[in-house]
């Protein structure tokens, strides 16, 4: 994976706020979902966008939060919970506050793994989310 070519080798994800990690994680998750969808079949862009939006939403990510929690290392769970407990400036549009916060936690973990350069673990976690959730997409 070419993710590593975009990273600054001095980036230390431990030094970023959980909301900064979630900012990066949101983009990483969206890109991975879009890549999976395009790789699975050639579809019209409108259909792809609709499918991506169904997967990249707080409700789905909150389900993934609970699914992943028992599979995480102690440190990963701490990053996840730190993200969940952050106080986002935005409000959830189509989700409860709890779902939105859980989604922020998941995004923080994905951003952390991306900035850490742990792409194998990032993909392992993403694939767990995808395999469990792709029935809905």
Question: Is residue 1 situated within a structural domain?
Answer: no
- In tens digits, the chain (137 residues) has pLDDT values of 445 555 655 678 889 999 999 999 999 999 999 999 999 888 888 999 899 988 899 999 999 999 999 999 999 999 999 999 997 777 777 889 999 999 999 999 999 999 999 999 999 999 999 986 554 44
User: Strand, helix or coil at 90?
Assistant: coil
Report pLDDT for 136: 45
Question: Is residue 97 situated within a structural domain?
Answer: yes
Q: Rounded distance, CA 18 to CA 39, Å?
A: 31
Question: Is residue 6 situated within a structural domain?
Answer: no
The domain in which residue 35 lies consists of 17-133
Counting every residue, how long is the chain?
A: 137
Question: Is residue 101 situated within a structural domain?
Answer: yes
Q: Rounded distance, CA 54 to CA 73, Å?
A: 28
Question: Is residue 2 situated within a structural domain?
Answer: no
Report pLDDT for 4: 55
Question: Is residue 11 situated within a structural domain?
Answer: no
Q: How many domains, the chain?
A: 1
Catalytic residues: 26
Question: Is residue 5 situated within a structural domain?
Answer: no
Q: Tell me, what CATH number does 127's domain have?
A: 1.10.1520.10
């Amino acid at each position: 994976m070419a993710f590593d070519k975009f990273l600054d080798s001095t980036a230390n994800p431990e030094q970023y706020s959980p909301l900064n990690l979630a900012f990066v994680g949101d983009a990483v998750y969206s890109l991975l979902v879009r890549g999976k969808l395009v790789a699975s079949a050639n579809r019209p862009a409108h259909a792809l966008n609709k499918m991506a939006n169904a997967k990249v939403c707080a409700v789905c990510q909150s389900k993934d939060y609970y699914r992943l929690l028992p599979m995480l290392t102690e440190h990963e769970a701490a990053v996840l919970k730190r993200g969940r407990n952050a106080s986002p400036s935005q409000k959830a549009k189509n989700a409860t506050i709890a779902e939105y916060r859980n989604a922020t936690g998941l995004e923080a973990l994905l951003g952390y793994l991306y900035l850490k350069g742990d792409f194998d673990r990032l993909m392992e976690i993403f694939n767990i989310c995808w395999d469990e959730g792709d029935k809905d997409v």
